[in-house]
Chains A and B, each alone.
Chain A
């Protein structure tokens, strides 16, 4: 049998994305959530026209294929995901490209992104840190520290109300909010922290 001629092949685009969450996300859960989101937002007809397919996914970064004419809808589908298995998640679209190779080279192998991900460490430090924001002091322990970003678990129960209102588990902040100065010295000296 002859192969399908290039004129009849579907034209695709490849979306490079990264996932931001405070816990590990498995590939299966991500696929389920993407298809659930696509089905609720666009329905079965819209999903079938878009032809979503997850290719690679490791280190919280991956590539999704979609039809060339439906890139904006695919972005919308990724944007409407707000939690995966009750873990608050944000999918960040890094860029769109015409081939897998180019998407990988251009968006996934970029040095700064690689560096940011590789330095992610999940420490369960129980030492308490203090921050002062708008004259209110929050005491808690640091859960995640990634570059200059810090997730803090507050000690007092009164802050649970704030966390419930915003559907998150930790208070998000940067090292510049912390009162303990030694952790600021350990901060990365990248320009603007980005």
Chain B
């Protein structure tokens, strides 16, 4: 499979030190060694979204993006935080799991990724998936559900993720594979992530795009300065003659 070797894989949900136990540099080093082309360091606390850039590892050809995973259980707080942080970070993730949070996340155009939507083993439904497809919110398939959970909950989460795959395929919602890593022991190589994606019911191509082209699309649309919102773009700056 030559295409796997030459493509750029990006993991968009990796947590580092203020929240969990590994420093940003360690995560960058390990991810680079595993063959990733970029990672998103998403923090749980809005106060420390910026991982001080002067101490970052001297690494070339590697994309480091800042992100925030908003974890809340009230909808008004979620919308407030999204509006406040949209301009400050590259990628906004919503830590899902609750039904109302899942719903308000996929209905918000400013949200990029709905992370771990099947946290408690409850799948999405057709309405939420359709909204996600309309608003361009990527549905996350977190592999740590398969790695860290055991027995009954693992079975429930896996079957919920299977249903999510089917729904996302039907309504053409973007699927994304992330590791949700809490330490460098949770990171997995791109092909291992793909293999766990296959167990969730994805096809080879879906798993491949969920790790390469969908994250690239998410990053591209956020770093693009000409993009204002979905469907509105600055094509050319024309100076108005007075």
Contacts and interface: CB of A to CB of B under 8 A. Distances in A.
Interface of A: 20-21, 40-41, 72-73, 75-76, 78-80, 82, 88-90, 92-93, 131-136, 148-149, 162-163, 165-168, 170-174, 176-177, 192-194
Given A171-B17, A192-B59, A177 B25 contact: yes
B74 interface: no
B195 A176 contact: no
B26 A134 contact: no
A149 B21 CA distance: 14
19 contacts: A40-B150, A76-B198, A76-B199, A79-B143, A79-B188, A88-B183, A92-B189, A93-B191, A132-B55, A162-B20, A162-B21, A163-B21, A168-B21, A168-B183, A172-B22, A174-B26, A176-B57, A192-B58, A192-B60
B183 A134 contact: no
Contact of B29 (A20, A88, A132, A174): A174
Nearest to A80: B147
A194 B29 contact: yes
Q: Which of B48, B51, B185, B189 has the most CB of A within 10 A?
A: B185
B211 interface: no
Given A92-B189, A192-B59, A166 B182 contact: yes
Contacts of A172: 21-23, 26, 183-184
B34 A168 contact: no
Interface of A is mostly: mixed
B146 interface: yes
A73 B146 CA distance: 13
B29 A148 contact: yes
B52 to A, nearest CB: 6
Contacts of B147: 79-80, 82
B184 to A, nearest CB: 5
Contacts of A194: 29, 32-33
A83 to B, nearest CB: 8
B52 A134 contact: yes
* Nearest 6 A/B pairs, CB to CB: A79-B192, A166-B182, A173-B23, A75-B195, A172-B22, A76-B195
B24 interface: yes
B235 interface: no
Contacts of B58: 176, 192
B185 A173 contact: no
B195 A173 contact: no
Contacts of B52: 133-135
B186 interface: yes
A92 B190 CA distance: 11
B195 A193 contact: no
B51 A167 contact: no
A174 B195 CA distance: 29
Contact of B23 (A78, A80, A166, A177): A177
Nearest to A192: B59
A37 B3 CA distance: 29
Given A93-B192, A171-B21, A177-B23, A72 B198 contact: yes
B217 interface: no
Nearest to B59: A192
Contact of A149 (B26, B50, B51): B26
B192 A133 contact: no
B175 to A, nearest CB: 17
B18 interface: yes
